[in-house]
Structure 1
Amino acid sequence: MIALWDTTATDVAAALHSERQSSGGTSGLALNLVVIVDEKDEREAEAALTVASQQHPCRLLIVLRRDLERDEPRLDAEIVVGGRLGPCEAIVMRMHGPLSQHAESVVMPLLAPDVPVVTCWLVPPPQVTGADPLGAFAERRITYAALAADPVEALRVRACDYTPGDTDISWTRITYWRSLIASAFDTATAPAKSVTITASAADPSAALLAGWLGSRLGVTPTIQDTEVERNSEHLPGIGGVSFTLENGDEIAIDRDRAGTTVLRRTGFPDRTQTINGRTLGELLAEELRHLDPDQPYQAALGTCTGEDRLCGADVVAR
């Protein structure tokens, strides 16, 4: 580990090269991962990024903004290659004063060449992520609406500024729900007539689930606002989903606080399985597997926010 105080991007690049040489470097980098973190959440973010980097060796550039009112710019950096943050080349950058508003001037010279760039905001994101200096050069941009003061309103902002390549961790939280619902419809003999989601109306994952179901089934789901108990911060506040089919059959999936789900279908025995909450690192690792535009997310976001331009006929399921 190398610590540099009151340094420059040039000195950081030189120190990174030296550390790579002495430690043997990290071969086969899959991507550049730029992460903007609030200083109070640094420990949790580093734990999550360690999990993600174990599945996706990367050059990890962590940006922490400090002392925004400070008159003089200053950069402090910590370089870790193959250390506590996993099999990655990590640079933790604390940017003070005016420099914090121009983080791209430090980040861009430190990007590994010839591999994709993913930018992730673990803070409230800028108004237009695709035009933000830290998002404009990225193939993928990951936000987390659940961190916003008004998560559902945050989704509307994301819909208004949507650029192909955008996604949100609130969407990743419902991967298991989408998989379970899709498998439940393997035996359906008629289209859905109505859909009811039991969930917290303030949960952005519930809104995105409603958007996904609406875009796939052509039915507008009803969200039955209920505060759902959760055993994990990153488990969506969804307690159940029920469907009535046009032939009168019913499909229902209910989940209790422990994560046990029961699938009930007309004419079939009940099926039980567990949906556990995943850590932030596991959610990030899933998102990093997809470097192409996430079209189902685009359709779900457009449907749940009423942004029609995102709901084109060419949007297909992944």
Structure 2
Amino acid sequence: MIVDLPDTTISKLSKKLVTLREDGGAVALGRVLTLVIVSQYGEEEEAIEAANEASREHPMRVLVLSQIPADSAEAARIDAQIRVGGDAGASEVIILRAYGDAASNEESLVNGLLLPDAPVVAWWPIEAPADVVNTAIGHIAQRRITDASEHEDPHAALLDLSRSYAPGDTDFAWTRLTLWRAQLAAVLDQPPYEPVTGVTVAGAADSASTVLLAAWLQMQLQVPVVQELTPRGSGDTGIHGVRLTRASGDIVLERPHDTIAKLTQPNQPTHELSLPRRNLRDCLAEELRRLDPDPLYGEVITKGVRQLKVESGTGEGTTQ
């Protein structure tokens, strides 16, 4: 069910939610958190779809702040839309479009719609501010999710995240590494238990995930990491592979296709492993499983990235 409420107020919107629950039998008692999505006008649907799918694992209320272009000449007002039932997965979706002076205080827009005594997670699926914790929405959230790959220059975005990091921050460029990190850790947990003497990480020049993977490996293995980056505009995206050098030979994990990776080790047959590119739903669902700070991400973004001396450049958004 979709209900449009043009030129409304937060008070009227809250009352309408209560009416819909009473009339339709939908209840908010099972909701475990409030997810606030900060997006651009006209670009909300992909994020809403991902939230709807993730809500089947994490029932929640979804508040979408659809940012209107600053040069809009519309009179001050709030237009809202409520989605429940089949149009909202296992969540309630509330879309807010504030015009003029009504958009000047984002915190006041959402405060009256937050679930009581429930955690607040903020997500910027678009290019996020350089210091999200000190934004109106970031200030009220326990967790703040950004995506460096959405920036024109993902490497510069990582450096901004490194400077402004606060406990509770995370980035989808890091979340996309979960499967890579698990596979590499599993390989190194097998004999022979030799030290790694060299690491090479290959990926696209504008892949934030490639940088974070290199930073993580350098911190964990305490060896310099070489990055082999393909030129921008070549059509390649994301991480291509990792080479770990040991005395007995090289371990190579490479992904020539979007879903299958090849693992090559000395004196062993080549193995094919499932290593799919992660979509928004997978990344969001994983981040919602833990609402406490991620100290490992904090170390990688604040120390590891700086140690790599990442150079800024211009590129399009990328995948993991």
Structure 2 equivalent of residue 195 of structure 1: 199
Question: Does residue 21 of the first structure (1) align with residue 43 of the second (2)?
Answer: no
Structure 1 equivalent of residue 250 of structure 2: 250
Structure 2 equivalent of residue 98 of structure 1: 101
Q: Read off the aligned partner of 2:196 and give its amino acid letter.
A: A
> For 1:188-214, what per-residue CA distance to the aligned partner results, in whole angstroms no more than 9, with x for missing partners?
411211100111122100011011111
Q: Read off the aligned partner of 2:21 and give its amino acid letter.
A: R
- 3-state secondary structure, aligned to 1:18: helix
Please list every run of 5 or more consecutive structure 2 residues that lacks an aligned counterpart in the other structure: 309-320
- The total of aligned residue pairs comes to 302
Structure 2 equivalent of residue 233 of structure 1: none
CA shift at 1:248, angstroms? 3.9
Distance in 2, Cα, partners of 1:58 & 1:284: 13
Q: Read off the aligned partner of 1:275 and give its amino acid letter.
A: L
Distance 1:126 1:2, change over 3 A: same
Question: Is this contact kept in 1: 2:262–2:272, CA < 8 A?
Answer: yes
Question: Is this contact kept in 2: 1:73–1:99, CA < 8 A?
Answer: yes
Worse-matched range after superposition: 101-110 or 36-45: 36-45
Distance 1:100 1:202, change over 3 A: same
Distance in 1, Cα, partners of 2:215 & 2:17: 44
CA shift at 1:71, angstroms? 6.5
Distance in 2, Cα, partners of 1:304 & 1:148: 20
Structure 2 equivalent of residue 225 of structure 1: 229
- 3-state secondary structure, aligned to 2:213: helix
Distance 1:303 1:201, change over 3 A: farther
Question: Is this contact kept in 2: 1:67–1:96, CA < 8 A?
Answer: no
Return the structure number with greater relative CO, CA threshold 8 A, min gap 6.
Answer: 2
Instruction: Map residues 2-17 of structure 1 onto 2, 5 A cutoff.
Output: 2-17=3-18
Structure 1 equivalent of residue 61 of structure 2: 59
Q: Which among 200, 206, 210 is matched to residue 206 of structure 1?
A: 210
Distance in 1, Cα, partners of 2:250 & 2:54: 39
Distance 1:295 1:80, change over 3 A: same
Question: Is this contact kept in 2: 1:67–1:97, CA < 8 A?
Answer: no
Distance 1:4 1:307, change over 3 A: farther
Distance in 2, Cα, partners of 1:54 & 1:163: 29
Please list every run of 5 or more consecutive structure 1 residues that lacks an aligned counterpart in the other structure: 231-235, 309-318
CA shift at 1:18, angstroms? 1.2
Distance in 2, Cα, partners of 1:144 & 1:208: 13
CA shift at 1:8, angstroms? 0.9
TM-score with structure 1 setting the length: 0.90
Distance in 1, Cα, partners of 2:226 & 2:176: 20
> For 1:137-166, what per-residue CA distance to the aligned partner results, in whole angstroms no more than 9, with x for missing partners?
111000011000101100110111100000
- Could you list the structure 1 runs, at least 4 aligned residues long, displaced by more than 6 angstroms after superposition: none
Distance in 1, Cα, partners of 2:94 & 2:197: 52
- 3-state secondary structure, aligned to 1:134: helix
Instruction: Map residues 31-42 of structure 1 onto 2, 5 A cutoff.
Output: 31-42=33-44
Question: Is this contact kept in 2: 1:207–1:304, CA < 8 A?
Answer: no
Question: Is this contact kept in 1: 2:130–2:157, CA < 8 A?
Answer: no
Worse-matched range after superposition: 7-16 or 297-306: 297-306
Question: Is this contact kept in 1: 2:215–2:307, CA < 8 A?
Answer: no
Instruction: Map residues 1-318 of structure 1 onto 2, 5 A cutoff.
Output: 1-24=2-25, 25-69=27-71, 70=73, 72-187=75-190, 188-226=192-230, 237-245=238-246, 247-306=247-306
Question: Is this contact kept in 2: 1:79–1:90, CA < 8 A?
Answer: yes
CA shift at 1:68, angstroms? 2.5
- 3-state secondary structure, aligned to 2:156: helix
> For 1:210-265, what per-residue CA distance to the aligned partner results, in whole angstroms no more than 9, with x for missing partners?
111112111221110125866xxxxx6111100112x3432111111243211112
Distance in 1, Cα, partners of 2:79 & 2:306: 44
Worse-matched range after superposition: 65-74 or 110-119: 65-74
Question: Is this contact kept in 2: 1:104–1:133, CA < 8 A?
Answer: yes
Distance in 1, Cα, partners of 2:270 & 2:69: 57
- 3-state secondary structure, aligned to 2:18: helix
Question: Is this contact kept in 1: 2:165–2:302, CA < 8 A?
Answer: no
